[in-house]
């Protein structure tokens, strides 16, 4: 994502990774200093709570999770005065495209498809 953002002309100044920032106060101050917050769908996006009003929050939505992305992150972002921009992954952009191929149920009908933990595909 960092490479893509830089290619688009953004200057990436902060990259938060798992277990890098463990102090919530420090994390809140860092995120509150951001004008643009980009992340893939997941719990890390709850940090949108620390963004200043008027900031831009970009969520990279996974295939089949558009409803969850909007409900859990997009709607709250708008209520908090953020500019919410979803980026919906196309099948060809997904790392699963090479694994499954374009005709797989994961792409044709993602709502009907689910992974079972421990089950090989």
HEC secondary structure over 32-83: HCCCEEEEECCHHHHHHHHCCCCCEEEEEECCCCHHHHHHHHHHHHHHCCCE
68 with 41: CB under 8 angstroms? Answer: yes
Of 86, 56, 83, 49, whose CA–CA distance to 70 is shortest? 86
Check residue 39 and give its pLDDT.
86
The percent of residues above 90 in pLDDT, for the chain, comes to 28
Interval 65-79: pLDDT, tens: 788 889 999 999 999
The larger pLDDT score, comparing residue 99 to residue 34, is at 34
What is the average pLDDT across 16-32?
A: 77
Check residue 117 and give its pLDDT.
46
Instruction: Using the Cα atoms of residue 64, residue 67, residue 68 and residue 74 in order, give the sign of their dihedral.
Output: positive
Weakest mean pLDDT among 2-11, 49-58, 96-105: 96-105
Distance CA 85, CA 17 (A): 22
- The whole-chain average pLDDT of the chain stands at 81
pLDDT band at 8 (very low <50, low <70, confident <90, very high): confident
Distance CA 95, CA 91 (A): 9
The larger pLDDT score, comparing residue 109 to residue 80, is at 80
The larger pLDDT score, comparing residue 3 to residue 36, is at 36
Check residue 85 and give its pLDDT.
92
99 with 82: CB under 8 angstroms? Answer: no
């Amino acid at each position: 994502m960092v490479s893509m953002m830089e290619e688009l002309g953004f200057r990436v100044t902060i990259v938060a990774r798992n277990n890098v920032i463990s102090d919530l106060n420090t994390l809140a101050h860092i995120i509150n200093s951001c004008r643009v917050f980009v992340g893939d769908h997941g719990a890390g996006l709850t940090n949108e709570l620390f963004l200043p009003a008027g900031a831009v929050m970009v969520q990279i939505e996974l295939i089949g999770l558009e409803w969850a992305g909007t409900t859990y992150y997009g709607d709250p972002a708008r209520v908090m005065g953020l500019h919410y921009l979803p980026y919906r992954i196309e099948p060809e952009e997904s790392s699963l495209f090479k694994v499954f191929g374009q005709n797989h149920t994961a792409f044709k009908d993602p709502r009907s498809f689910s992974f079972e933990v421990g089950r090989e595909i």
